[in-house]
Chain A
Amino acid sequence: MARLRLKGKPSSVADRLFRAAIALALLAISLVVIVPLLNLLALSLSDPGRVGEVTGLTVLPKGFSTVNYRVLAANPLFVRSIINALIITIVGTAINLLVTSMAAFALTRERLPGRRFFMLLVIVIMVFEPGLIPEYLVIKKIGLMNSLWSVILYKAVNVYYLIILMRFFEEVPTSLIEAARIDGAGYGTIFLKIMLPLAKPAIATLGLFYGVFHWNEYFRASIYLSDPDKYPLQLILRQFVVLDDTASLIGSGALFSYDEAARLDYGALKASTIIVAMLPVLIIYPLILKYYTKGVMEGGVKE
């Protein structure tokens, strides 16, 4: 690894001060990232009676109460939106991985009829973004309006991920494939028994990225879905927190069924909604760090 210090030579005082300053500056950046997030977590878990004590820089809850989360869990629209988001994410990601890996395999076979044409098509799709209205009119025309499928199928193939997977498939040694062919394996066997197992780390990484994408999606849902029962969580979050529309969430919910509800703080309830919307991302984040950053760094070393 590239280091600016000579091996074995003791570092000077100036050198050490310089390094300490860098470490402090980086720690400050880390704090700027996590303090606002911890602050919302603290706010969401604080005792409703002591919410007033939570300042913008508080990172630990004042007292402890799960009332905000219980209020959310009792709200049918909110619970429904989590289910919708999970459906979109799980079905969407499964389709992503299936369609992307099948296409990547086909496009990397030299004998694919019309291969040059299909590759050109991929590049055209990558370069030209047709824009909102033409896409909207197509979705409307084929009858996908107000259907979860319009959101599930959006970005069914991310062209950049397709190309990454194609690079991966291209790196599989041809000798391996030739040997399988001599043993009588067809394309189906080669795809399922050789390519997919070898590309497992790449496919897992793409799955994580596709999954985060689906979970975070709100815009297509906002233009294609008209029925609030079909909204994913991010859209409810946008209405409640960003647009400050408390009526739509509360009007349909059993919000006042709790004794504590009278003392409920909207800021704390919003904070809880944000925390729930981040949770799945936080859960898979260690996996992302493990697969992706490792992949990038090792890829860097190999070259």
Chain B
Amino acid sequence: MLKPRTLRTRLRQEGFLLVLLVPALVYFSVYHLAPMAGMTLAFQDFRIVGPSKFVGLKHFRILFSSPAFFDVLRNTLIISSMKIILFFPLPLLFALMVNELRSVLLRKFVQATAYLPHFLSWVVIAGVWISFLSPSSGGANQARGLVGLPPVDYMTSKTAIRWVLFASETWRSLGWDSIIYLAALMRINPSLYESADMDGAGALQKAWYITIPELAPTMITVLILNMGFFMSAGFDQVFNMMNDSVISAVDILDTYIYRIGLLNMQYSFSTAANLFKGAIGLVLILGTHSAAKRVTGKGLW
């Protein structure tokens, strides 16, 4: 039994817990809470000296009446659709394929190589891809040459660049994003497959009637979490792969917010654009969640 504690020992003991929490609280204050308070800038005109003036929705009105904004919004939605919706089944497919490998050595090799790009920075990946896609010396165009196709300058082509974003995202995330499915596959009860075998089910039937339904909750979780990134579309990737020739095809909300904010120093306008982005992102994640809940009866929370 613990002895009943006096107020002094309580303060001394629980006070220590607060001390442990202090460094984290200081960090949260500087990098999260103070900036959150600073978001009110979206409703003000920023001034370097003296208090900023409250201007209501002025910056949002400018935002919604600017054609440039709708261009970047369209780019964001297109690129996100490719990188989230079009990409969505690929890691699942990859996991199902890896799961069929019998050789442990081959399995380890495939996994070790496929997970690696996830740990490379987008600066490195951009460097690798720019070199690989080079029209004169890149591997991609040399492979095209082998089958008699003319070289393509992918990085400066407005039609190709979005597919470069899709392909490099797949290159980076295909393996890593399959881990969650591989773990879920291991949790499926083997007796389900055994009884299906006894009923004479084929491989495709087993995949359709056992594997896919068993993986559905994982798929829904992944989808909901990814919807949270829909309005972001991957700043680091686009920032490192864009250039002047293709900017009109790949300029997304985040690169636009960066440019008007830090390069043009329109602090209030940039903050307003960011606030709009955050609000839509929140609506998207809540919307996907409630839709998933209605369809399957299960959600994340």
Residues of chain A having any CB pair with chain B under 8 Å: 1-4, 6, 15, 18-19, 22-23, 25-27, 29-30, 32-37, 39-40, 54-57, 98-100, 102-103, 105-107, 109, 111-113, 118, 121, 125, 127-139, 142, 153-157, 162, 181-182, 186-188, 191, 212, 215-219, 223, 234, 237-238, 241-242, 267, 270-271, 273-274, 277-278, 281, 285, 288-289, 293, 296-297, 299-301, 303
B92 at the interface (CB under 8 A from A): no
Q: Nearest Cβ in chain A — how far from B50, in angstroms?
A: 14
- Interface SS of chain B: helix, strand, loop or mixed? helix
Q: Which 8 A-B pairs have the closest CB atoms?
A: A134-B38, A56-B139, A216-B121, A130-B35, A131-B274, A103-B24, A300-B183, A134-B35
Q: Specify which chain A residues have a CB less than 8 angstroms from the CB of B124 in the assembled complex.
A: 216, 234, 237, 274, 277-278
The interface bits of chain B over 27-61 (1 if a CB of A lies within 8 angstroms of the residue's CB, else 0) are 11011111111110100000000000000000000
Contact indicator B28/A132 (Cβ below 8 Å): no
With a CB–CB cut-off of 8 A, which chain A residues contact B103? 23
Is the beta-carbon distance between B110 and A1 smaller than 8 angstroms? no
Query: Cβ of A271: which chain B residues have Cβ within 8 Å of it?
Result: 131
Counting chain B CB atoms within 10 Å of each CB, the highest count among A139, A186, A187 belongs to A187
Closest chain A residue to B40 by CB distance?
A: A134
Identify B127's interface contact among A15, A157, A241, CB under 8 A.
A241
A234 near B121: Cβ-Cβ < 8 Å: yes
B262 within 8 A of A: yes
Residues of B within 8 A of A25 (CB): 97
Asked if B100 contacts A112 (CB within 8 A), the reply is: no
In contact, A135 and B206 (Cβ under 8 angstroms) = no
Which of B39, B113, B138 makes the CB contact (< 8 A) with A131?
Answer: B39
Given the interface pairs A127-B282, A131-B275, A293-B179, the reply to whether A237 lies near B128 with Cβ below 8 Å is no
Can you name 19 extra interface pairs (CB under 8 A) apart from A3-B193, A131-B39, A234-B121?
A2-B186, A23-B103, A34-B116, A35-B139, A55-B142, A103-B23, A113-B17, A133-B261, A133-B274, A134-B39, A135-B35, A153-B30, A154-B31, A242-B130, A271-B131, A278-B124, A281-B119, A289-B112, A296-B179
Contacts of A216 in B (CB 8 A): 119-121, 123-124
When distances are taken between beta carbons in the complex, the residues of chain A under 8 Å from B295 are: none
Interface residues on B, range: 35 or more
| Number of inter-chain CB pairs below 8 Å | 273
The residue among B121, B139, B175, B194 with the most chain A CB atoms within 10 A of its own CB is B121
Q: How far is the CA of A1 from the CA of B190 in the complex (A)?
A: 7
Which residues of A have CB within 8 Å of B87? none
Write the residues of chain B forming the contact surface with A, with a CB cutoff of 8 angstroms.
2, 13-14, 16-18, 20-21, 23-24, 27-28, 30-39, 41, 94, 97-103, 106, 109-117, 119-121, 123-124, 126-132, 134, 137-143, 171, 174-175, 179-180, 182-188, 190, 193-194, 197, 203, 206-207, 211, 235-236, 239-240, 257-258, 261-262, 267, 270-271, 274-275, 277-278, 282
Q: How close is A19's CB to chain B, nearest CB, in angstroms? A: 6
Q: How far is the CA of A284 from the CA of B265 in the complex (A)?
A: 40
Contacts of A99 in B (CB 8 A): 23-24, 27
Which residues in B have their C-beta under 8 angstroms from that of A303?
Answer: 187
- Give the residue among A55, A56, A293 with the most B Cβ atoms within 10 A: A56
Q: Is A100 touching B24 in the complex (CB atoms < 8 A)?
A: yes
